[in-house]
Amino acid sequence: MVAGGSGEDFRAEPFRIKVVEPIRRTTRPERERLVEEAGYNLFHIPSEAVYIDLLTDSGTSAMSDRQWAGMMLGDEAYAGSRNYYRLRETVREIMGFDHVIPTHQGRGAEHVLFSTLLEPGQYVLNNMHFDTTRAHVQHRRGIAVDLAVPEASDPCSCHPFKGDFDLDRLQTFLAEHPRESVALIMATVTCNTAGGQPVSLGNLKAVKEIASEHGIPFFLDACRFAENAYFIREREPGWAGRPIREVVRAMADCADGCTMSGKKDALVNIGGFLALRDPELFRRASVWAVLFEGFPTYGGLAGRDLEAMARGLEEVLDEEYLEYRVGQVRYLAGLCRAAGIPIIEPPGGHAVYVDAKRFLPHLGRDELPAQALTVELYLEGGVRGVEIGTVLAGRDPATGENVYPELELVRLAIPRRVYTDRHLEWVALTLRRVWERREGIKGLAFSYEPPVLRHFTARFRPLG
Ligand code: P71
């Protein structure tokens, strides 16, 4: 909430706005027409017809003046661009990984890493795989196993580190499977699939120990590493008041390397990298990098993109930025809570997740409540969120049956440095208006269902 009084706890955006991009409020009849044309799938709505776009926090950040200035310093050489060395130096300094391979985005790094380390039939153990990570594991004919603590799937549990590994299950898994059957362990920080929930340092250290006992590589999926570090400093005993850089280094010290989508915590619109400690692994990974991404000093990016990413990695560690960032997510969560709107608690680092099952309890799961709620938020206020529920979960490839996930969610992901708190007040008002008329909301059914990744291209029709 907006703090009053002394101003001690008052927080305003720690930047001023130098460039603006107009956004337009469409009319309700316009939105009704667009939704129908889009087959009730907001992926088909042109962004210009969206007032507040909370579809993703990935690639949607506003770059700083320093990043834009860096864009003019791009060295566009095919090999050995100075911006590559700058990026490598930055990653070395912040994370301590010596070897860096830029990639076009996070999944490019996953592709290179799994091509290097994963043989068909092997397991990859993660707190919770993100979709692209799982898809890349499966693309290599590997088996993706999620081992997060049970609190991760409980929307009401206020566990401070809902992204933690369940260490008992990890130990049991490793006791029951031969060493050679596990290719690597990965920790996704923060854990997107569980709601942007952090992983504690204590947990990362324990996983590292278990991994090295068994001689298994341990990697971070580091997309939101700075947000994770902020939560550690806030919540983990012994870390209060320590510099964010120190926390980040302690996290990285647990791992043999990381995959990174620069589109999140490197504050860029495109880019990523794979970072590695081991020179031999780097040599092997470079071969795949050339094949899929490009020569390992550019990895599918322009020199200017590398420079912007290096500068973003520095900026994201700014403590005032992180306080503002996590605070803004909390601000929206607080407005929802005050209105009685059910959300995942505690809010994570990049998004507020609305619990559609509790929002629309009169809808059965076949009536796709979370998808219906995304459509209503758009119709009401031009706000675009994304369904994370039955539509996204898809069908079991073996049985062809719908997989019903535990949670039906609408994710409202907040782009970094893009919207003001006033914009978020609009989002909260939109949610409240839909909440007030929730009983009249009808479900949806598929009218076209593509065979894979159905959420992107599916079309729906309203029921009733
Ligand atoms: C997000 C995304 C972007 C996205 C990707 C695919 C479908 C829908 C939305 C991307 C992540 C992520 C984690 C933890 C790897 C990636 C891939 N997230 N790990 O949340 O959250 O990175 O998009 O740069 O390839 O909207 P990439």
Calculate how far, in angstroms, residue 386's C-alpha sits from the geometric centre of ligand 1: 13
Taking 90 as the threshold, does the pLDDT of residue 11 lie above it?
A: no
| Per-residue confidence band for 106, with pLDDT thresholds at 50, 70 and 90 | very high
**107 C-beta closer than 6 A to ligand 1:** yes
Q: Are 100 and 296 in contact (CB under 8 A)?
A: no
Residue nearest to atom 3 of ligand 1 (CA): 58
pLDDT digits (tens, 9 = 90+) for 335-390: 999 999 999 999 999 999 999 999 999 999 999 999 999 999 999 999 999 999 99
Using alpha carbons, select from 53, 44, 65 the residue that is nearest to residue 23: 53
Calculate how far, in angstroms, residue 350's C-alpha sits from the geometric centre of ligand 1: 12
Q: Are 49 and 30 in contact (CB under 8 A)?
A: yes
Measure the CA–CA gap between 227 and 103, rounded to whole angstroms.
Answer: 22
Q: How far is CA 151 from the centre of its chain?
A: 19
Calculate how far, in angstroms, residue 327's C-alpha sits from the geometric centre of ligand 1: 22
Name the strand (E) or helix (H) holding 36: helix 28-37
Residue nearest to atom 19 of ligand 1 (CA): 130
Taking 70 as the threshold, does the pLDDT of residue 61 lie above it?
A: yes
Measure the CA–CA gap between 275 and 8, rounded to whole angstroms.
Answer: 40
What per-residue confidence (pLDDT) applies to 6? 63
Using alpha carbons, select from 5, 23, 10 the residue that is nearest to residue 415: 23
Measure the CA–CA gap between 308 and 69, rounded to whole angstroms.
Answer: 9
**223 C-beta closer than 6 A to ligand 1:** yes
Domains of the chain: 7-57+318-462 (3.90.1150.10), 65-315 (3.40.640.10)
**pTM for the full model?**
0.96
Calculate how far, in angstroms, residue 272's C-alpha sits from the geometric centre of ligand 1: 11
**Rg of the chain taking only CA atoms, in angstroms:** 22
Calculate how far, in angstroms, residue 132's C-alpha sits from the geometric centre of ligand 1: 7
**416 C-beta closer than 6 A to ligand 1:** no
Percent of the chain with pLDDT over 90: 91
Residue nearest to atom 27 of ligand 1 (CA): 106
